[in-house]
């Protein structure tokens, strides 16, 4: 129920359809980046110090008892307070998104580095002094709202820009390509990957027969499969993954000249992932791992940042590549067209209310502004219909743009009226145009008034249900991606395919997939086949009664000539030259301690890590407070029951015999350290802490640890017999910056 005061706004414009002061841009654009946030804050209610009211503003003097005929009699239908309260409760949930149901989001702003007027007339890409408000939603794709953050899945990466020319939605994913080339296959793809309809199993997982049955009959999916089976599909953090616009769009400048453009988001924290074993365990320990990480980082002032990059292609070069620019299953390798970083996005505020903002935000590929336009990508064309159609059902009708999170910061003037949930009160006699009764208003804006005009592309073709032959190469870029990966990443793809196909019960589906994998890379297919105890078929028979053109005869799906590409380092996560490799900012480091730890060792290491930007958390046998040998008191952030090694990036065991002896007595500590070592994470210990590593079997006599202070004796293990040796903290920081120590990972 609401407070007894108005919201201050009733829609995108007031009764006279005039803009509100909060909507008007000032001479600098929007003033500061909080203009949109200030606008939304007029709809925020905390009810502090206010009387309880109904939704009509009537004060309620008893919210504990329904109106009855006598104290034990039947409830009366006239109890309008009860009916309003129950009715609202019954309708508090809207249909969840068919895909991208589980998401988290944040507010922020975007600033361009320099004017892009040469390429586009989009206003928000002109002035470096303007901070354009944004709202960004990250999501998984296949799972329901209640599924885990750590599913092996594509991640949605959708950005709503509240620009001076209206809302612009850059709706993308953390993977630059897609499973299919034509939107007519999208319902089939989603039906295949969703839980199987006869038993609603499995949730948020692709490791089942229907998904791989579909994929094995759609060779065009093989490039996407390489990405989804890679570590890209299980990011360490939403703050540490790339974003892509997926489709090829157009930039159009004020002279009407167009160029093709691909959009990229580059995280300033670099690219990092978790291992599949970790992902499964995190799902049990903290299924909200990603949304919690994003929320806490923003609350701590560690604002996530991405640079917006573009690949720009002149129209004259449209057909100069060995692939089709309009094919959504293809990338433009960065070695061919470098990514130019043109601006930065910063997320600096969490939503006030998850439902009102994150759940009700409506993204639509069709929300574009002058200076940005579409291409004939057949997947993009279908999505332009799907997004709007979905929002009409999910958000109750055509007025979802009036929900505060979706409302533009510019005033709205049009002849659209009525419909479910209409908030704007429109005055006047006319709701059509042309008209004379209102002087023709609202009138059309010409292109010289920043009105939107579609790019005048010449089209001369027959209506036909076919795909261009330039879309027929399904394996070259899949091979490029796999061969561009580091050896550990290739091993992870192989393990992922063994896991996924190992869950497939229908043998012919496995065989079809092995055949397709052999078209990508023979060694990849052989390694997967060994793990499945299967053989790669020499040829495939077309499945009986198959009604779609999914013939996997390589003569039909291979290009006319073999396309061999040099490996692209930009496609890997390990040693990617485009991202920093020396930062540990916001990494979570677990200090394993009990009462009696060495005060100086703990405080010195904590200082070294925090100076480098890391987050230090203590894990102890019990919650509460812990006391050092010299009386220092620290709070236990986790116990070994509530914490887990998979929730942290590295570990430190400080000196202090009483502390170490207590930890030795707890079997959960051994498991904690062994698991962290298995996952190739950095582990440090000083003084008596080294004995805890020895008790866990991580350090052996063969390591010959010197009591004079040898610092690193095995990849990712940093230790000293001293309580805290000179340079010990720096050594630990350097080891953590490597993220993982893959030399420790077992071979396939």
With H, G, I as helix, E, B as strand and everything else as coil, classify residue 11.
Answer: coil
Each as own residue / partner, the long-range contacts of residues 167-171 (CB below 8 Å, 24 or more positions apart, any chain) are 167/367, 167/406, 167/408, 168/122, 168/124, 168/367, 168/368, 168/369, 168/372, 169/363, 169/364, 169/365, 169/367, 169/368, 170/245, 170/263, 171/245, 171/363, 171/364, 171/365, 171/387
Question: Rounded to an integer, what is the distance from CA 337 to the centroid of its chain?
Answer: 25
Cβ–Cβ under 8 Å, residues 702 and 693:
no
Question: Rounded to an integer, what is the distance from CA 42 to the centroid of its chain?
Answer: 29
**CA-based Rg of the chain, rounded to a whole angstrom?**
29
Q: What does the buried/exposed string (b/e) look like for 359-385 if buried means 16 or more CB atoms within 10 Å of the residue's CB?
A: bbbbbbbebbbbbbbbbebbbbbbbee
Q: What does the buried/exposed string (b/e) look like for 499-536 if buried means 16 or more CB atoms within 10 Å of the residue's CB?
A: ebbeebeeeebbbbbbbbbbbbbeebbbbbbebbeeeb
Cβ–Cβ under 8 Å, residues 616 and 610:
yes
Report how far residue 515's alpha carbon sits from residue 538's, in angstroms, rounded to the nearest whole number. 8
Among 17, 107, 167, 173, the one annotated catalytic: 173
> Tokens 């987050």 map to which residue?
615
Secondary structure of 481-521 in HEC code, one letter for each residue: HHHHCCHHHHHHHHHHHHHHHHCCCCHHHHHHHHHHHHHHC
DSSP structure string for 579-621: S-SS--TT-EEEEE--TT--HHHHHHHHHHHHHTT-EEEEEES
Asked about 100 being catalytic, the answer comes back as: yes
Cβ–Cβ under 8 Å, residues 685 and 692:
yes
Please give the angle made by the CA atoms of 93, 192 and 558, to the nearest 5 degrees.
Answer: 140
Among 100, 264, 272, 290, the one annotated catalytic: 100
Asked about 173 being catalytic, the answer comes back as: yes
Report how far residue 219's alpha carbon sits from residue 477's, in angstroms, rounded to the nearest whole number. 12
Residue 660 Rama label (left phi>0; alpha psi -120 to 50; beta) = alpha
CA proximity to 401, closest of 377, 385, 383, 419: 419
Report how far residue 249's alpha carbon sits from residue 244's, in angstroms, rounded to the nearest whole number. 12
Residues 6+ apart with CB under 8 A from 365: 169, 171, 247, 380, 383, 384, 387
Report how far residue 528's alpha carbon sits from residue 513's, in angstroms, rounded to the nearest whole number. 10
CA proximity to 490, closest of 527, 529, 516: 527
Active site positions, annotated: 100, 173
């Amino acid at each position: 129920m609401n407070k007894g005061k108005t919201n201050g706004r009733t829609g995108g414009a007031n009764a006279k359809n005039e803009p509100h002061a909060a909507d008007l841009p000032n001479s600098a654009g929007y003033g500061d980046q909080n203009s949109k946030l200030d606008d939304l804050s007029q709809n925020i209610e905390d009810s502090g110090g206010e009387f309880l009211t109904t939704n009509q503003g009537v004060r309620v003097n008893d919210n504990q008892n329904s109106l009855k005929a006598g104290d034990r009699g039947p409830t009366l239908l006239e109890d309008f307070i009860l009916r309003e309260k129950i009715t609202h409760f019954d309708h508090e949930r809207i249909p969840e998104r068919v895909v991208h149901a589980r998401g988290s989001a944040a507010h922020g702003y975007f600033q361009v580095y320099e004017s892009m007027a040469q390429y586009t007339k989009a206003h928000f890409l002109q002035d470096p002094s303007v901070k354009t408000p944004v709202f960004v939603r990250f999501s998984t794709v296949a799972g329901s709202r209640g599924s885990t953050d750590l599913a092996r899945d594509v991640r949605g990466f959708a950005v709503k820009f509240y620009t001076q020319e209206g809302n612009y939605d850059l709706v993308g994913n953390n993977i630059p390509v897609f499973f299919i080339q034509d939107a007519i296959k999208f319902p089939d793809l989603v039906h295949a990957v969703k839980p199987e309809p006869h038993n609603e199993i499995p949730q948020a997982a692709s490791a089942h027969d229907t998904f791989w049955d579909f994929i094995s009959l759609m060779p065009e999916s093989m490039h996407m499969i390489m990405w989804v089976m890679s570590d890209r599909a299980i990011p360490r953090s939403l703050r540490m993954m790339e974003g892509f616009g997926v489709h090829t769009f157009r930039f159009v400048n004020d002279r009407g000249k167009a160029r093709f453009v691909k959009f990229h988001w580059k995280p300033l924290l670099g690219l990092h992932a978790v291992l599949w074993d970790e992902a499964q365990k995190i799902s049990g320990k903290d299924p909200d791992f990603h949304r919690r990480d994003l929320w806490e980082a923003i609350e701590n002032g560690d604002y996530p940042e991405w640079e917006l990059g573009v690949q720009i292609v002149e129209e004259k070069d449209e057909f100069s590549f060995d692939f089709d620019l309009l094919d959504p299953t293809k990338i433009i390798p960065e070695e061919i067209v470098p990514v130019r970083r043109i601006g930065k996005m910063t997320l600096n505020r969490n939503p006030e209310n998850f439902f009102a903002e994150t759940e009700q935000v409506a993204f639509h590929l069709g929300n574009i502004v002058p200076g940005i336009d579409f291409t004939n990508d057949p997947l993009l064309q279908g999505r332009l219909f799907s997004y709007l159609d979905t929002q009409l059902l999910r958000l109750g009708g055509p007025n979802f743009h009036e929900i505060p999170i979706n409302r533009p910061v510019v005033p709205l003037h049009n002849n659209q009226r009525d419909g479910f949930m209409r908030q704007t009160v429109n005055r006047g006699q006319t709701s059509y145009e042309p008209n004379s009764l209102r002087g023709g208003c609202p009138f059309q804006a010409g292109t010289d008034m920043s009105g939107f005009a579609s790019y005048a592309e010449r089209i001369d073709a027959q209506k036909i249900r076919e795909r261009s032959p330039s879309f027929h190469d399904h394996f070259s870029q899949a091979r490029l991606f796999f061969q561009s990966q580091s050896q550990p990443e290739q091993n992870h793809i192989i393990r992922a395919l063994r896991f996924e196909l190992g869950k497939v019960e229908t043998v012919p589906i496995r065989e079809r997939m092995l055949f397709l994998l052999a078209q990508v890379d023979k060694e990849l297919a052989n390694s997967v086949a060994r793990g499945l105890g299967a053989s790669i078929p020499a040829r495939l028979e077309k499945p009986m009664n198959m009604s779609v053109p999914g013939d996997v005869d390589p003569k039909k799906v291979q290009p006319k000539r073999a396309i061999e590409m040099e490996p692209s380092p930009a496609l890997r996560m390990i040693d990617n030259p485009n991202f920093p490799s020396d930062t540990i900012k916001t990494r979570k480091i677990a200090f394993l301690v009990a009462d009696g730890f060495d005060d100086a060792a703990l405080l010195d290491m904590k200082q070294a890590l925090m100076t480098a930007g890391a987050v230090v958390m203590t894990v102890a046998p019990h919650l509460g407070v812990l006391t050092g040998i010299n009386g220092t008191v620290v709070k236990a952030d986790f116990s070994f029951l509530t914490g887990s090694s998979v929730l942290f990036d590295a570990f430190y065991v400080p000196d202090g015999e009483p502390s170490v002896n207590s930890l030795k007595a707890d079997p959960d500590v051994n498991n904690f350290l062994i698991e962290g070592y298995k996952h190739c994470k950095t582990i440090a210990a000083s003084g008596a802490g080294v004995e805890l590593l020895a008790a866990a079997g991580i350090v052996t006599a063969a390591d010959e640890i010197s009591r004079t202070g040898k610092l690193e004796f095995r990849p990712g293990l940093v230790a000293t017999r001293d309580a805290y040796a000179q340079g010990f903290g720096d050594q630990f920081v350097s080891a953590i910056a490597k993220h993982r120590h893959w030399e420790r990972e077992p071979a396939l």
